[in-house]
Amino acid sequence: DAGVIQSPRHEVTEMGQEVTLRCKPISGHNSLFWYRQTMMRGLELLIYFNNNVPIDDSGMPEDRFSAKMPNASFSTLKIQPSEPRDSAVYFCASTSPPLYGYTFGSGTRLTVV
Amino acid sequence: TQLLEQSPQFLSIQEGENLTVYCNSSSVFSSLQWYRQEPGEGPVLLVTVVTGGEVKKLKRLTFQFGDARKDSSLHITAAQPGDTGLYLCAGVKSGNTPLVFGKGTRLSVIA
């Protein structure tokens, strides 16, 4: 398995633009998580899905953020409009039973200028 | 307020030295995991501990889960430059709730 695949690896965009981050989880994993990592706040959970259904989006900072999982092999995180304070590394992770470790993608480094 | 507090935040040591990093909380966790993250990559799982008092060894790394399941430690013996990275602890409070991460300990091992 190629692991969790995220794209793009890097994204530089201007304030106000729409940004879409993509994630392909490991085949067979039924839970998918979106985290954001900054030096100040560490890894913060934004939203997670079980069997493609959003379970908890309380970590999504504002209505500007939205996430979808249309099928078991694809998820997106969208920011519209983007702001400089959204600059961070965004990680997608997937897993199966809860005691298994999470497998993380390599992340998307987002810079909003 | 951070649910899992890790200490120290930064640690720089010479190759061959021993070190211990800590992960503490006022909350009880049903399980706890340790991850290592290298620059430009996502965290990678090292170990999962589930029983209070449990000790697990992974080569030169020793992980311990506190008796009350509120804290954990990671001890590295004879550190090597390849151990350099960000060490993250993460806990599950109950059931199928997602992992909550500490901010990590950034370790640098100098040759």
Query: Mean pLDDT throughout B86-95?
Result: 92
Output the pLDDT for position A45.
96
pLDDT in tens, B3-44: 899 999 999 999 999 999 999 999 999 999 999 999 999 999
Element (H or E) spanning A106, and its range?
A: none
Output the pLDDT for position B51.
92
Interface test with A, best of B10, B34, B101 (most A CBs within 10 A): B101
What percentage of chain B reaches a pLDDT higher than 70? 99
3-state secondary structure chain B: CCCCEEECCEEEEECCCCEEEEEECCCCCCEEEEEEECCCCCCEEEEEECCCCCEEEECCEEEEECCCCCEEEEEECCCCHHHCEEEEEEEECCCCCCCEECCCEEEEEEC
Per-residue pLDDT of chain A (113 residues; tens, 9 = 90+): 689 999 999 999 999 999 999 999 999 999 999 999 999 999 999 999 999 999 999 999 889 999 999 999 999 999 999 999 999 999 999 998 766 799 999 999 999 99
- d(CA A91, CA A108) in angstroms, rounded, equals 7
Output the pLDDT for position A99.
65
Q: Does A83 touch chain B (CB under 8 A)?
A: no
What are the two backbone dihedrals, phi and then psi, of residue B26, each rounded to the nearest 5 degrees? -90, -5
Token code pair at residue A55: 């379970």
**Confidence check: pLDDT of B1 > 70:** no
Question: How does residue B97 score in pLDDT terms, banded at 50, 70 and 90?
Answer: confident
Q: Does A50 touch chain B (CB under 8 A)?
A: yes
- d(CA A19, CA B58) in angstroms, rounded, equals 40
Within 10 A of A82 (CB to CB), how many other CB atoms are there?
A: 23
Output the pLDDT for position A73.
96
Asked whether the beta carbons of residue A104 and residue B43 sit closer than 8 angstroms, the reply is yes
Question: How does residue B96 score in pLDDT terms, banded at 50, 70 and 90?
Answer: confident
Q: Does A48 touch chain B (CB under 8 A)?
A: yes
Give the three-class secondary structure for A85: helix
How far does the CA of residue B14 sit from the closest CA of chain A (Å)? Answer: 25
Q: Out of A35, A101, A104, name the one closest to residue B48 (CB).
A: A101
Asked whether the beta carbons of residue B92 and residue A106 sit closer than 8 angstroms, the reply is no
Q: Does A53 touch chain B (CB under 8 A)?
A: no
Task: Give A102's DSSP letter.
Answer: P
Closest CA to A46 of A103, A89, A100: A89
Strand bridging mode B10-14 / B71-76: unpaired
